[in-house]
Amino acid sequence: MKARHKRIALILGALAALGLIAAFVLNALNDNLAFFYSPTDVKDGKAPQNKVFRIGGLVQNGTLTRQPDGVTMAFVVTDTIHDIPVRYKGILPDLFQEGKGVVAQGKLGEDGIFTANEVLAKHDENYMPPEAAQALEKAHQAGSGDAGAKTVIPAGGTEPAAAPRK
Amino acid sequence: MIPELGHFALILSLPVAALVGVLALLGAHRNRAPWIALAKPGAQALALLVTVAYLCLTQAFIANDFSVIYVAQHSNSLLPLQYRIAGVWGGHEGSLLLWMLMLSWWALLVTWFSRNLPAPMLARVLGTLCLVAFGFLLFILLTSNPFERILPGVAEGKDLNPLLQDPGLIIHPPLLYMGYVGFSVAYAFAVAALLSGQLDAAWARWSRPWTVVAWIFLTLGIAMGSWWAYYELGWGGWWFWDPVENASFMPWLIGTALLHSLAVTEKRGSFKNWTVLLAISAFSLSLLGTFLVRSGVLTSVHAFATDPTRGVFILAFLVTVIGASLALFVWRAPSVGLGGRFGLFSRESLLLTNNVLLAVATGTVLLGTLYPLLVDALALGKISVGPPYFNAVFAPIMAPLLFLMGVGPFARWKHASIAEIARLLKWALAVAGVVAVTLPFLYGSWTPLVGLGLLLATWITLTAVLHFVQRVQATRGDAGFLAAALRQPRHFWGMHLAHLGVAVFVVGVTMVGGYEEEKDVKMGPGDTVTVSGYSFRFLGVQRVEGPNYVAMRGEVELLKNGKVDRLLHPEKRNYHSSMMPMTEAAIDAGLLRDVYVSLGEPIDRDQPEGEWAVRVYYKPFVDWIWGGCVLMSLGGLIAILDRRYRNVGRRGTATPAQEAAA
């Protein structure tokens, strides 16, 4: 009897510990998820205020400027329909370029400016981040009525700079 | 002509692998001696064929044969010779061929170092390896053939990704692959043991050195990759919880659990089912890693070699391998038996805790890595899981693991006394506590994480030294301490060295995490910036020509107490063929700290010799991270040189009871 009670207590203890770990892990996961939104989603108000999320699209040509402090960069991310102004303090990745795909992670301010703490550009000049490609594709589908021909931008290979701007 | 020869060798290896695999396994099952005898020469022939294929591809790279599509895509006539040789594994097709080459060499090594293995067992191990090889060969030939031609050939190749043009690339993938693929041997031993029903101490003893060797390669491969990311990517970090890093880290965690579980199975005959399951998991996670990296399902810095269509094949292969081995496990495991019993507090129970914690850690990494894929696959949106998740879950899982690492060696098999161990170790704990409370103030500030890290590192070090001294004293007799220490078995030395490596690693992680400093600043010629007591004077930037690139080369003086200590030369390169910019950081490495400078970009693009955005880092103890990994590997190496593995087989039939005495 006693040995059996001991075993049951042990199993219950192990289960409780496992449950605790699972709760803790899932909680940590929930706190650190960053959802992805396209510039159109952000303009539609789908993106959260004061929570970290990701945006993606193309860096609009001619919008990259350096702020007076010398290390803060400003640029516009577009899905060809809507634009989001972005600020980033720090050195941009080597493959960050105007007209190319980009993904940025950060928070949206009340002034509508997205302050990024991380900017991702991929390590191949032809590679397009899947999130950025998806944002463009969605925008194309939404705008295909007036754009005429449907263009599908695959996740890699094509020249994203060729995407038309209305 | 030579690429055709390679292609032919590769095609020929496919039926060889299938035939040897099937005949060896059937032969062992039906006890047909001629079929069993076929396994060894068959595996050697396979290794020869794959090696020929690999050398042919290398020759195509060396000879700049741009009529081979793969060569044209990953090489260039301006590329230096060493990168042309390393370029073979710079892309998808070639890296799979390297994977295959490693697999065939592991099988070859098994044929060489298995003189004492019973013939049917050897046949089962080699047969399993050959079937795995068959799957991979099929994959290469059907979806990723590196020998495909384009006629007429192109005049010039596209060049190797500049990121990969670095000595780190020459070493990192082969080391990592040796580790990944090495777990196939532990897996093959587990499958062979399940097939034969011979899950005993002898089996554990046979597979243990193979597992340790694979683990050593994986440890070094991961450390090398981390170091490469640190100095080559110019981000200054040593680990990013990137999905591809996680893909290599999961087999490492399970492999580490497997090492410890094998120890119990060998010495006490317990944990047999669990050990088999870990061996299957370690190899399955290696395959999963290959799938994640090669299928293109991940967004990551390693995305330069991706193709979604290939993913389906690897996924099917993965499902087959995992499914078949788990089915075999379910069928055979109930007949295995439990082995020696053990008390609630004993060496066994502590090692079990080690295993559970490592398995839980693997599970959390797996969750964080696969969850975004799952959400994406179910069309619920795109998400990413950031490093804070991994950091948050890892510290609480690792802390008890590291604490128990100090206790484990003191606990006896079967039954240990908490009171006795507490009495032995209370001073070690007290000293570790004092160090944890006081030492951080030397660096200015105390934080709980730094305190915890230093507590655990000191604790591991002190307990390892204490255990070592205690054991030497107990066995020295009249001999001197040093002589007695050198007489200790090598596995004992190896264990403590590896554990010390963990302590060194923890110090590195703790100090970098607690006290690193980073500044992004605008600097013109003559400007000075100060980080943690080090001053950097920017002298300017000059244009220099490399073999296949043009670089802007910065000159930065590192000042210590106002005197020039060193000149640093960070570079921003532009490669001719791809026009990709690349940052080459300049690092002054030291035992207690690294300082690190990298060039961002010119403030005014039209004046590249004027002001620049510059990034400077101060990284205390960062080299301890990789030093710790090297120590762990060295510990593993010494452990497998232990005398008892040399007579494997002859003594392999010894009972666990005899072993427990050893």
pLDDT digits (tens, 9 = 90+) for B585-626: 899 998 999 998 988 888 887 888 888 989 899 999 999 999
Look at strands A83-89 and A114-120 and give their pairing.
parallel
Cβ within 8 Å of A, B 177-216: none
Q: Which residues contact B573 (CB under 8 A, 6 or more apart)?
A: B162, B546, B549, B550, B551, B581, B582, B583, B584
Nearest to B73 by CA among B54, B59, B92: B92
Provide DSSP, B396-418.
HHHHHHHHHHHHGGGSPSS---H
Q: Residue B522 domain-assigned?
A: yes
In eight-state DSSP terms, residue A81 is S
Q: How far is A46 from chain B (nearest CA, A)?
A: 12
B96 and B195 in a common domain: no
Q: State the Cα–Cα distance between residues B213 and A23, nearest whole angstrom.
A: 37
Q: Per DSSP, what are the bridge partners of residue B567?
A: B557
pLDDT of B308 reads 59
Amino acid identity at A141:
Q
A93 and A158 in a common domain: yes
Size of chain B in residues: 662
Nearest to B13 by CA among B125, B98, B99, B137: B137
B531 and B587 in a common domain: yes
Q: State the Cα–Cα distance between residues B147 and B140, nearest whole angstrom.
A: 10
Q: State the Cα–Cα distance between residues B292 and B483, nearest whole angstrom.
A: 50
Percent of chain A, pLDDT > 70? Answer: 76
pLDDT of B471 reads 92
**Domain holding A133: CATH number?**
2.40.50.140
A119 and A60 in a common domain: yes
Provide DSSP, B344-412.
SSSHHHHHHHHHHHHHHHHHHHHHHHHHHHHHHHTTS--EEE-HHHHHHHHHHHHHHHHHHHHHGGGSP
Q: How confident is the model at residue A164 (pLDDT cuts 50, 70, 90)?
A: very low
Q: Is B588 helix (H, G, I), strand (E, B) or coil?
A: strand
Cβ within 8 Å of A, B 486-525: 520-522
Q: How confident is the model at residue A116 (pLDDT cuts 50, 70, 90)?
A: very high
Residue B478: φ, ψ to 5°? -95, -5
Chain A hits for B388, CB-CB cut-off 8 Å, are 28, 31-32
Q: Do A89 and B520 touch (CB under 8 A)?
A: yes
Cβ within 8 Å of A, B 135-174: 161, 163
Q: How many CA atoms lie within 13 A of A145 on its CB side?
A: 3
Q: State the Cα–Cα distance between residues B280 and B294, nearest whole angstrom.
A: 21
pLDDT of B138 reads 94
Cβ within 8 Å of A, B 432-471: none
Q: State the Cα–Cα distance between residues B21 and A74, nearest whole angstrom.
A: 60
Mutate to test the interface with B, among A67, A123, A124, A136 (most CBs of B within 10 A): A123
B353–A contact, CB cutoff 8 A: no
Q: Is B540 helix (H, G, I), strand (E, B) or coil?
A: strand
Closest chain A CA to residue B360: A21
Is-contact A85 A102, C-beta < 8 A?
no
CA B94 to chain centre: 20
A102 and A25 in a common domain: no
pLDDT of B244 reads 82
List helix spans (H) across B197-242: 201-232
B181 and B113 in a common domain: no
A153 and A77 in a common domain: yes
A123–B contact, CB cutoff 8 A: yes
Q: Do A29 and B611 touch (CB under 8 A)?
A: no
A10 and A62 in a common domain: no
Chain A hits for B306, CB-CB cut-off 8 Å, are 156
pLDDT of B144 reads 86
Pick out chain B residues at pLDDT < 70. Answer: 233-235, 294-309, 647-662
B208 and B161 in a common domain: no
pLDDT of B650 reads 43
Closest chain A CA to residue B613: A71
Q: Residue B153 domain-assigned?
A: yes
pLDDT of B649 reads 44
ipTM: 0.76
Percent of chain B, pLDDT > 70? Answer: 94
Reported as a single tens digit per residue, the pLDDT across A58-95 is 899 989 998 888 789 999 999 888 999 999 998 888 77
Is-contact B564 B570, C-beta < 8 A?
no
Q: Do A130 and B382 touch (CB under 8 A)?
A: yes
Residue B137: φ, ψ to 5°? -65, -40
In eight-state DSSP terms, residue B634 is H
Q: Which domain holds residue B596?
A: 517-623
Q: State the Cα–Cα distance between residues B528 and B472, nearest whole angstrom.
A: 55
Q: State the Cα–Cα distance between residues B370 and B288, nearest whole angstrom.
A: 11
pLDDT of B130 reads 97
Q: Which domain holds residue A156?
A: 35-162
Nearest to B68 by CA among B97, B47, B43, B107: B97
B219 and B244 in a common domain: yes
Q: How far is A76 from chain B (nearest CA, A)?
A: 19
Q: Residue B546 domain-assigned?
A: yes
A27 and A46 in a common domain: no
Q: Is B88 helix (H, G, I), strand (E, B) or coil?
A: helix
A86 and A40 in a common domain: yes
Residue B339 Rama label (left phi>0; alpha psi -120 to 50; beta): left
B201 and B87 in a common domain: no
Nearest Cβ partner for B388 among A32, A36, A127:
A32
Q: How far is B652 from chain A (nearest CA, A)?
A: 35
Look at strands A72-78 and B612-620 and give their pairing.
unpaired
Residue B339 tokens, joined: 């082995």
pLDDT of B356 reads 92
B399–A contact, CB cutoff 8 A: no
Q: State the Cα–Cα distance between residues B59 and B37, nearest whole angstrom.
A: 34
Residue B154: φ, ψ to 5°? -80, 160
Q: Residue B400 domain-assigned?
A: yes
pLDDT of B514 reads 92
A63 and A3 in a common domain: no
B255 and B108 in a common domain: no
pLDDT of A102 reads 87
pTM score above 0.80: yes
Q: Do A31 and B304 touch (CB under 8 A)?
A: no
Q: How confident is the model at residue A100 (pLDDT cuts 50, 70, 90)?
A: confident
Q: Do A28 and B389 touch (CB under 8 A)?
A: yes
Instruction: Kindly tell me if the per-residue pLDDT of A148 is higher than 60.
Output: no
Q: State the Cα–Cα distance between residues B584 and B577, nearest whole angstrom.
A: 18
Residue A162 tokens, joined: 């060729």
From the CB of residue A58, how many other CB atoms can be counted at a distance below 10 Å? 26
Reported as a single tens digit per residue, the pLDDT across A5-26 is 877 888 898 889 888 888 888 8
B315 and B302 in a common domain: yes
Q: Which residues contact B504 (CB under 8 A, 6 or more apart)?
A: B457, B624, B627, B628, B631
User: Which parts of B201-358 are beta strand (E)?
Assistant: none
